[in-house]
Amino acid sequence: MKSTGIVRKVDELGRVVIPIELRRTLGIDIKDALEIYVEGEHIIFKKYQPACIFCDNASDVLNYRGKLICKECLGTLKESV
């Protein structure tokens, strides 16, 4: 992992400001959802992308009756009917 040279402190409410340069680089806009998880000793922030309920694929996802299904799984479902 490459160091950016940017250091931020955690405030009294546990918040950290993500610098605008990083948000622009990663395409994170105001009110975007972020996934937060831990890998070993690292806290990972990742732009949230909803995924298919069957295969967890986040690309080419369609909303069908409130559920997200990728085109590949949708094709498989059509074939099985």
For the chain, 81 residues long, give each residue's pLDDT as a single digit of tens.
566 678 999 999 999 999 999 999 989 999 999 999 999 999 999 888 889 999 989 888 999 888 899 999 989 988 887
CATH number of 1-48: 2.10.260.10
Domain ranges of the chain: 1-48, 50-81
> In three state form, how does the secondary structure of 11-63 look?
CCCCCCCCCHHHHHHHCCCCCCCEEEEEECCEEEEEECCCCCCCCCCCCCEEE
pLDDT at residue 78, as a whole number: 87
pLDDT at residue 65, as a whole number: 87
The model's pTM is 0.60
pLDDT at residue 15, as a whole number: 95
42-47 vs 34-39, strand pairing mode: antiparallel
